[in-house]
Amino acid sequence: MKKKNYLNISAEECLKRAEILFNLGDEAEALEYYRMAVEVGGKSANAFFRLAVEVEDDKPKQAIAYYLKALKINAKHSEACYGLGRIYGRTGKLDKAISCFKKAVELNPKDSKGYCGLGLALSQKKKFDGAIANIKKAVELDPSDSVSYRIYAMILENKGDFKGALEKYRQSEDLNKNPQVEDKINKLSVVVEDDGG
């Protein structure tokens, strides 16, 4: 795609092209069209959401700004709430993370990711009853998601339940092989055996 050609394309056309490309799996090209849509004045929550996801690992402050713009355009964008909560959680702003995850769950109660994020953030605040209730809901909604079991294990580990954490890590590993999870299993196995469990 030639970058200068977008001056003759409306924001709406950029968004249409971006969605088609994204659905076809061409994320790199789709992101260019989302970027163009924003540059020519497009007011699409989804465009800002996609741009936030693209930059959140390298530029968390920029991602927060994009997520907030997405939510300003569409306050009911549950994925933007979840993404914002994830970044706040990573940067230690746990109260903000919890608030965002609660909003994501309220907006989309069938999406297990929001419950996972809320559970993990609550466990980091030592609110284990709420954390476990939320992660159980995530597992109930999507029992085939290895990430839910991994987060469940992390919550139990934060609580000090190493035997329970080991069991959940093993369930995660059964669903999807992961070297990091395998390493946690090996380490926790030693701890649990040392404790006589």
pLDDT tens-digit map of 73-82: 999 999 999 9
- The phi and psi torsions of 139 (rounded to 5 degrees) equal -65, -40
| pLDDT over 90 percentage in the chain | 61
| pLDDT over 70 percentage in the chain | 94
- Each residue's pLDDT tens digit, 92-116: 999 999 999 999 999 999 999 999 9
CA distance 116 to 179: 21
Mean per-residue pLDDT of the chain: 90
Looking at domain 110-197, its CATH superfamily turns out to be Tetratricopeptide repeat domain (1.25.40.10)
What sign for the dihedral angle of Cα 61, 58, 87, 127? negative
Band of the pLDDT at 145, cuts 50, 70, 90?
Answer: very high
Residue 10 pLDDT: 80
Look up residue 159 and give its DSSP letter. Answer: H
Other CB atoms closer than 10 Å to residue 75's CB: what's the count? Answer: 12
- Each residue's pLDDT tens digit, 122-135: 999 999 999 999 99
Band of the pLDDT at 71, cuts 50, 70, 90?
Answer: very high
pLDDT at 2 over 50: no
Higher per-residue confidence, 150 vs 9: 150
Band of the pLDDT at 4, cuts 50, 70, 90?
Answer: very low
CA angle (113 as vertex; 136, 145 as ends), nearest 5? 70
Look up residue 4 and give its DSSP letter. Answer: G
Give the chain's count of helices (H) and strands (E): 11, 0
Mean per-residue pLDDT for 12-18? 84
Report pTM. Answer: 0.83
pLDDT at 67 over 60: yes
Band of the pLDDT at 197, cuts 50, 70, 90?
Answer: low
Higher per-residue confidence, 138 vs 34: 138
